[in-house]
Amino acid sequence: MNFPTISRPQIQSAALNQQFVRNCWYVIAWDHEIPADGLFARTVLNEPIILFRTAQGITALEDRCCHRLAPLSKGRKEGDAVRCGYHGLKFDGAGQCIEIPGQANIPATARVRKYPLVVRNKWVFVWMGDVDKVDESLLPDNYSCDSPEWRNIPGYLHYDTNQMLICDNLLDFSHLSYTHEKTLGGSPAIAQSKARIERLDGPGPRGIRVSREVPDVPSPPFYNRFKNYTTNINRWFVYDFVLPGTLLMQSGGRPVGAAPDDNSDAVILHSCQTVTPETDHSTHYFFQQSHRSDTGNAEITQKIYDMLVLAFEEDRQMITAQAAMIATDPTHKMIPIAADAALNQFRQLVRRMVEAEQPQV
Amino acid sequence: MNFPTISRPQIQSAALNQQFVRNCWYVIAWDHEIPADGLFARTVLNEPIILFRTAQGITALEDRCCHRLAPLSKGRKEGDAVRCGYHGLKFDGAGQCIEIPGQANIPATARVRKYPLVVRNKWVFVWMGDVDKVDESLLPDNYSCDSPEWRNIPGYLHYDTNQMLICDNLLDFSHLSYTHEKTLGGSPAIAQSKARIERLDGPGPRGIRVSREVPDVPSPPFYNRFKNYTTNINRWFVYDFVLPGTLLMQSGGRPVGAAPDDNSDAVILHSCQTVTPETDHSTHYFFQQSHRSDTGNAEITQKIYDMLVLAFEEDRQMITAQAAMIATDPTHKMIPIAADAALNQFRQLVRRMVEAEQPQV
Amino acid sequence: MNFPTISRPQIQSAALNQQFVRNCWYVIAWDHEIPADGLFARTVLNEPIILFRTAQGITALEDRCCHRLAPLSKGRKEGDAVRCGYHGLKFDGAGQCIEIPGQANIPATARVRKYPLVVRNKWVFVWMGDVDKVDESLLPDNYSCDSPEWRNIPGYLHYDTNQMLICDNLLDFSHLSYTHEKTLGGSPAIAQSKARIERLDGPGPRGIRVSREVPDVPSPPFYNRFKNYTTNINRWFVYDFVLPGTLLMQSGGRPVGAAPDDNSDAVILHSCQTVTPETDHSTHYFFQQSHRSDTGNAEITQKIYDMLVLAFEEDRQMITAQAAMIATDPTHKMIPIAADAALNQFRQLVRRMVEAEQPQV
């Protein structure tokens, strides 16, 4: 028997259906994810994209054959071209069809979209907006992803939620005290401390700078994995959160009483994290947390990564539950509190950018 | 690759989207389900609710933090209060926010809904309607759930269907002959017998009384688990089915020829069952079937429970298949038959109550 | 906790929501699928149908009790009748209710729809349209399904896609070179060869005839399973694709240089395949590929079947991926190529038939 299953009503939420900024760079992959001689597919902003390596570097094309709309990623790479696995149409690295089996003439319209692409510090960025507005100055400075001075293990998580709830999360670190009490947090003092919020109006990508000092707290479970502080420490978090959704953070801690420039017993970290909408309801999350190459070793690199994965799973569970709750009643109002300042400013910035990108009437 | 799955079309059925009576008591849990020192979450009438024990007894709050709408049930109980596990807001047993980390002033609007709650005979009831209309006289008399004179094992089932189809089922016992032929039924005579239908117009919850005598039939498989009748028996079923969806039933059987007041070789049972809508498309089902404490033992209590679970699974499969079939064509007409009398009266009562609860213009 | 899951938006595609031709025969089952003494349920054109054997042969009724709409297939066969497993209504082979337990009078409206049915060469056909227009001359000639001159193993696949994409697939064999390179294809020459397209305007079911010769190619992996050609071969495919979606094909190959009528070392096959919409979004696919009984043995019959299953799974994966891609943007245009001639003609024929079946105003 074949009974249709009864689906729950489709609930659309303003909070979950935020439109996307398009004229900016989105991370689509870590460089190492693209195979040397094969095809890699990932959806960004609801658009299916195929990535492969050519003599000119990594190429990003629309992953949809122009003929009958089969995914090209189910075909095969042939040199610097890709051939559809359904009826055999072949496309060059510019997206132009260069072979239709059994047909001499190839219409100029037989092509797929090509996306501007930049690889910078191991992140593969695609430009999802107007090709006339491509602007490399809008790339975030993710230097620690690929620097001899820093060490990390690259990470990736998939979310079944819209990206704005993840941006919210990254813009209010008060949750470290509760969601991450047993991992990154370790003290209610983080939530009780007041963050300084500044606007970043360029040059470079626009966004928000958040700075927070948390003096005289116990070393968190995170640090305890690789440090043995015998006293309380002073902690700090200073990060830029820039469009479309990238966190670039210096953070660390040193024993209470140590001079502000004394790094002899300090934890010094740099983290790059970025959220890329996959669809209206799902998100890619790329991240790494680096320590200085001149301190620590491979074991510490691994421990930092392991704790980060544990903590980000705490976030994912909380945000997924939050998104499901919002979906039960998308009209339910949120009560604002002081800690929302940064996320409100960022949401406002996104709204303004989205509006500015709408066609002028 | 991430392809959206193609969902079946959303089919909305009048039969499946009955509105709910709100000014009445719904069972949200068995008392024993609420942990001594933790949080318990369950959705009723599409509303997420969190239950926990305080000095004042079990408390029912909206399971949605007023700040960013995360479920409070992912937080923790702190004494008689609950703290959100996302950004740490704390709520007392009245639903008022009493702490916002890092913020001195707490707006009065920072609160979550509190639901009136009564525990009666091990059932935990919540009032889903207007708090000004709370009325304990509308509680059903589920006495056998907690009485020294009766013994039972409490049961719970989850349905992926709307509750009205389950109410229909409970209001027409002709299905015992077919759906439960090998469990509760055992004879087509149940379907062939005529039920007496009466209205219950209060005091107490309104509803329908259904009485049915089934003389001279073989003992059903159900009874045969714990009785060895050597002759046919006379069976009876007398139950009240009251708003919002609670069955309170005396049933039993005695050997043909035994006097109507001779219980020496009789089966005497009392059952309490109630359906509570979880969402528009899913339902909680709480049940127990008791025998007299002065007859039978723990083994018989267990056998009655086991047979009930088996039989209610027969119902669940039939009703789930019926709901799926209705969903394939929600406009399909039902042909009424005589056996529908009780369910039609109850559906009419529900409609009238729902209409009476609509805001007056 | 019970959080509704967030579903992806319901995307409706013109390509996926093609209406169905109704006044024609659809294969609902292989004859052997219907049990000797039981009930068999299958949905066709969104209509749930129950099949069972009576003294008059296989009977097809609406699988939905007229009373409370439970599926009859959850009941039981009683002689030449079927009894609903919910409240016990009984229906004869004409779909008329002949018993309502506990009720003397049976309204004439208490009946379920009966579908005209023909069993022809092991395929069970139902007529889904106007009973006044039943026309056995519209049955396809699926002779090799049941002929002493041919041997095959019957096959069935279920698709989670609309049937038109499967018809498209069967109407353009250029995909053999790519989708089936390692199974049925073996050479790009199939895609490069030009097919002859003819209309079939009756008598018999209307459709398209596709003829293709592919000279001087290596024997494909398919043939290599049971033949050892030492030279290239000439291959041919000649098939009728008739309404509503049935392929009837002669195909084969013989060594280059052999006379066109020399079958001494030839592969000679006949195939019958048919697609039957289950719902708007899912499809039944019945198939067999026969070899001549006077060549080959049971091992070869099995090898042909195994390769067919392997190849049809290649199709299913490609078409399912294509359907999912179309669903991401149902407005995306397809770029036509020469190889689309047959499928375009067939789609046009379907459109005309669907339009002709619309009620006249």
* C15: closest chain A residue by CA: A68
**Of A68, A102, A136, which residue sits at a domain end?**
A136
* Alpha carbon distance C271, C144 (integer Å): 7
Q: Do residues A107 and A155 share a domain?
A: no
Instruction: Provide the pLDDT for residue C202.
Output: 86
pLDDT in tens, C77-97: 999 999 999 999 999 999 999
Q: Do residues C322 and C212 share a domain?
A: yes
Mean pLDDT of chain B: 93
Structural domains in chain C (count): 2
Neighbors of chain B by Cβ distance (3+ pairs < 8 Å): A, C
Q: Do residues B263 and B118 share a domain?
A: no
Judge whether residue B282 has pLDDT over 50.
Answer: yes
Judged by DSSP in three states, C240 sits in strand
* Alpha carbon distance A354, A23 (integer Å): 9
pLDDT band for B361, please (50, 70, 90 cuts).
low
Does residue B246 form part of some domain?
yes
Instruction: Provide the pLDDT for residue C351.
Output: 95
Is the CB of residue C107 less than 8 Å from the CB of residue B335? yes
Alpha helices in chain A (DSSP H): 164-171, 189-192, 221-224, 298-328, 341-357
Does residue C305 form part of some domain?
yes
Is the CB of residue C86 less than 8 Å from the CB of residue C68? yes
Instruction: Provide the pLDDT for residue A55.
Output: 96
Work out the percent of chain C whose per-residue pLDDT is above 90.
93
Residue A165 backbone class (left: φ over 0; alpha: ψ -120 to 50; beta: rest) = alpha
* A108: closest chain C residue by CA: C335
pLDDT in tens, B168-202: 999 999 999 999 999 999 999 999 999 999 999 98
Q: How, if at all, do strands A90-91 and C123-127 pair?
A: unpaired
Judge whether residue A11 has pLDDT over 60.
Answer: no
CB atoms C86 and B7 under 8 Å: no
CB atoms B110 and A335 under 8 Å: yes
Residues in contact with C188: Cβ distance below 8 Å, sequence separation at least 6, in sequence order: A88, A101, C177
Cα of A23 to nearest chain C Cα, Å: 21
Is the CB of residue B326 less than 8 Å from the CB of residue B319? no
ipTM comes to: 0.92
Q: Is the dihedral of CA A312, A314, A317, A321 positive or negative?
A: negative
* Alpha carbon distance A236, A210 (integer Å): 11
Instruction: Provide the pLDDT for residue C360.
Output: 73
Does residue C11 form part of some domain?
no
Judge whether residue B244 has pLDDT over 80.
Answer: yes
Does residue C9 form part of some domain?
no
* Alpha carbon distance C361, C359 (integer Å): 6
Does residue A17 form part of some domain?
no
* Alpha carbon distance A173, A236 (integer Å): 11
Is the CB of residue B190 less than 8 Å from the CB of residue B227? no
> CB pairs below 8 Å between A and C: how many?
130
- Chain B residues with beta carbon closer than 8 angstroms to that of C39: none
B232 vs C360, residue with greater confidence: B232
What DSSP character marks residue B79?
T
Is the CB of residue A295 less than 8 Å from the CB of residue A150? no
Q: Do residues A302 and A190 share a domain?
A: yes
Query: At A202, which amino acid appears?
Result: G
Q: Enter the tokens of residue C23.
A: 């006044």
Alpha helices in A95-149 (DSSP H): none
Nearest to B7 among C7, C100, C325 (CB): C7
Instruction: Provide the pLDDT for residue B5.
Output: 33
- Counting beta carbons within 10 angstroms of the beta carbon of residue B208, is it exposed (0 to 12), middle (13 to 18) or buried (19 or more)? buried
- Counting beta carbons within 10 angstroms of the beta carbon of residue A243, is it exposed (0 to 12), middle (13 to 18) or buried (19 or more)? buried
Q: Do residues B128 and B170 share a domain?
A: no
Q: Do residues B129 and B171 share a domain?
A: no
**Of A103, A136, A169, which residue sits at a domain end?**
A136
CB atoms C87 and B42 under 8 Å: no
Q: Do residues A319 and A289 share a domain?
A: yes
Is the CB of residue A133 less than 8 Å from the CB of residue A157? no
A343 touches chain B (CB under 8 A): no
Any idea what the Cα angle at residue A205 is, between residues A203 and A207, rounded to 5°? 110
Instruction: Provide the pLDDT for residue A111.
Output: 98
Q: How far is CA B28 from CA B15, B59, B275, B277, C58, in A?
A: 23, 12, 10, 10, 49
Nearest to B103 among A73, A318, A337 (CB): A337
Q: Which of residues 20-79 of B touch C (CB under 8 A)?
A: 41-43, 48, 63, 71, 73
Mean pLDDT of chain C: 93
Judge whether residue A92 has pLDDT over 80.
Answer: yes
pLDDT band for A15, please (50, 70, 90 cuts).
very low
Judge whether residue C75 has pLDDT over 50.
Answer: yes
Instruction: Provide the pLDDT for residue B14.
Output: 35
* Alpha carbon distance A337, B97 (integer Å): 12
Q: Do residues C209 and C339 share a domain?
A: yes
Q: Which of residues 255-294 of C touch A (CB under 8 A)?
A: 278-279, 282
Mean pLDDT value across residues B195-212? 96
Cα of A39 to nearest chain B Cα, Å: 11
Q: Do residues A55 and A200 share a domain?
A: no
Q: How, if at all, do strands B25-30 and B81-83 pair?
A: unpaired
Cα of A176 to nearest chain B Cα, Å: 8
CATH classification of the domain holding C323: 3.90.380.10
- Chain B residues with beta carbon closer than 8 angstroms to that of C328: 3-4
Q: Which helix (H) or strand (E) holds B164?
A: helix B163-171
* Alpha carbon distance C77, B317 (integer Å): 19
Mean pLDDT value across residues B215-229? 95
Query: At A62, which amino acid appears?
Result: E
pLDDT in tens, A239-264: 999 999 999 999 999 999 999 999 99
Residues in contact with B47: Cβ distance below 8 Å, sequence separation at least 6, in sequence order: B62, B128
CB atoms B42 and C75 under 8 Å: no
Residue A83 backbone class (left: φ over 0; alpha: ψ -120 to 50; beta: rest) = beta
Judged by DSSP in three states, C251 sits in strand
Q: Do residues A130 and A163 share a domain?
A: no
Nearest to C103 among B63, B178, B338 (CB): B338
**Chain centroid, CA B355 distance in Å:** 22
Q: Which helix (H) or strand (E) holds C126?
A: strand C123-127
CB atoms A100 and C326 under 8 Å: no
Mutation site for B-interface testing, chosen from C67, C68, C163 by largest number of B Cβ within 10 Å: C68
Cα of C318 to nearest chain A Cα, Å: 7
Q: Tally Cβ neighbours within 10 Å of residue C278.
A: 24
- Chain A residues with beta carbon closer than 8 angstroms to that of B86: 175, 178-179, 318, 322
Instruction: Provide the pLDDT for residue B2.
Output: 35
Q: Do residues B75 and B187 share a domain?
A: no
Neighbors of chain A by Cβ distance (3+ pairs < 8 Å): B, C
Judged by DSSP in three states, A329 sits in coil
Cα of C165 to nearest chain A Cα, Å: 9
Does residue C63 form part of some domain?
yes
Q: Which of B122, B155, B125, B140 has its CA nearest to residue B42?
A: B125
* Alpha carbon distance A94, A102 (integer Å): 22
CB atoms C324 and B168 under 8 Å: no
Which of A8-22, A162-176, A272-286, B347-361 shows the lowest mean pLDDT across its residues? Answer: A8-22
Judge whether residue B68 has pLDDT over 90.
Answer: yes
Return the exposure string of A286-317: e unless at least 16 CB atoms fall within 10 Å of the residue's CB, then b.
bbbbbbbeeebeeeebeebbebbeebbebbbe
Nearest to B188 among C8, C43, C101 (CB): C101
Return the exposure string of A14-28: e unless at least 16 CB atoms fall within 10 Å of the residue's CB, then b.
ebbebebbbbbbbbb
Nearest to C178 among A11, A43, A87 (CB): A87
Cα of A322 to nearest chain B Cα, Å: 4
Work out the percent of chain A whose per-residue pLDDT is above 70.
95
Q: Which of C188, C177, C265 has its CA nearest to residue C229?
A: C265
pTM: 0.93
pLDDT in tens, C296-329: 899 999 999 999 999 999 999 999 999 999 999 9
Judge whether residue C1 has pLDDT over 70.
Answer: no
Instruction: Provide the pLDDT for residue A296.
Output: 86
Q: Please provide the DSSP assignment of B181-202 as one string.
A: TTTT---THHHHSPPEEEEE-S
pLDDT band for A361, please (50, 70, 90 cuts).
low
CB atoms B101 and A48 under 8 Å: no
Mutation site for B-interface testing, chosen from C1, C5, C100 by largest number of B Cβ within 10 Å: C1
pLDDT band for A19, please (50, 70, 90 cuts).
confident
CATH classification of the domain holding B33: 2.102.10.10
Instruction: Provide the pLDDT for residue A1.
Output: 31
pLDDT in tens, C123-161: 999 999 999 999 999 999 999 999 999 999 999 999 999
Residues in contact with C139: Cβ distance below 8 Å, sequence separation at least 6, in sequence order: C25, C118, C120, C125, C205
Does residue B10 form part of some domain?
no
pLDDT band for A13, please (50, 70, 90 cuts).
very low
- Chain C residues with beta carbon closer than 8 angstroms to that of A71: 321-322, 325
Q: Do residues B90 and B167 share a domain?
A: no
CB atoms C109 and B335 under 8 Å: yes
pLDDT in tens, A203-240: 999 999 999 999 999 999 999 999 999 999 999 999 99
Is the CB of residue B22 less than 8 Å from the CB of residue B350? no
pLDDT in tens, C178-200: 999 999 999 999 999 999 999 99
* Alpha carbon distance B179, C84 (integer Å): 9
Q: Please provide the DSSP assignment of B307-361 as one string.
A: HHHHHHHHHHHHHHHHHHHHHH-TTPPPPP-GGGHHHHHHHHHHHHHHHHHSPP-
* Alpha carbon distance B123, B119 (integer Å): 6
**Of A118, A136, A154, which residue sits at a domain end?**
A136
Residues in contact with A352: Cβ distance below 8 Å, sequence separation at least 6, in sequence order: none
What is the separation, in whole angstroms, between the first and last Cα of chain C?
53
Task: Return phi, psi of residue C118, to 5°.
Answer: -135, 135
Mutation site for B-interface testing, chosen from A319, A335, A344, A347 by largest number of B Cβ within 10 Å: A335
Q: Is the dihedral of CA A127, A133, A136, A139 positive or negative?
A: negative
* Alpha carbon distance A49, A152 (integer Å): 27
Judge whether residue A10 has pLDDT over 90.
Answer: no
Q: Domain range for residue A65? A: 25-136
Does residue A177 form part of some domain?
yes
